[in-house]
A and B are shown apart, each in its own frame.
Chain A
Amino acid sequence: NFMLTQPHSVSESPGKTVTISCTGSSGSIASNYVQWYQQRPGSAPTTVIYEDDQRPSGVPDRFSGSIDSSSNSASLTISGLKTEDEADYYCQSYDGNNWVFGGGTKLTVL
Chain B
Amino acid sequence: EVQLVESGGGLVQPGGSLRLSCVASAFTVSGNYMSWVRRAPGKGLEWVSVIYSGGSTYYADSVKGRFTISRDNSKNTLYLQMNSLRAEDTAVYYCARVRTVTNWFDPWGQGTLVTVSS
Contact = CB atoms under 8 A, between A and B. Distances in A.
Specify whether A and B are partners.
Answer: yes
B106 A47 contact: yes
Contacts of A37: 45, 105
Nearest to B99: A50
Given A44-B94, A97-B50, A99-B35, A33 B103 contact: yes
Nearest to B49: A99
Interface stretch (A12-20, A68-76, A77-85, A101-109): A101-109
Interface of A is mostly: strand
A13 to B, nearest CB: 25
Nearest to A33: B102
B44 A45 contact: no
B47 interface: yes
Contacts of B109: 44
Contacts of B108: 44-46
Nearest to B95: A44
Given A32-B103, A97-B58, A104-B44, A45 B94 contact: yes
Contacts of B98: 99
B54 to A, nearest CB: 13
B47 A99 contact: yes
Interface of B: 35, 37, 39, 44-47, 50, 58, 60, 94, 98-99, 102-106, 108-111
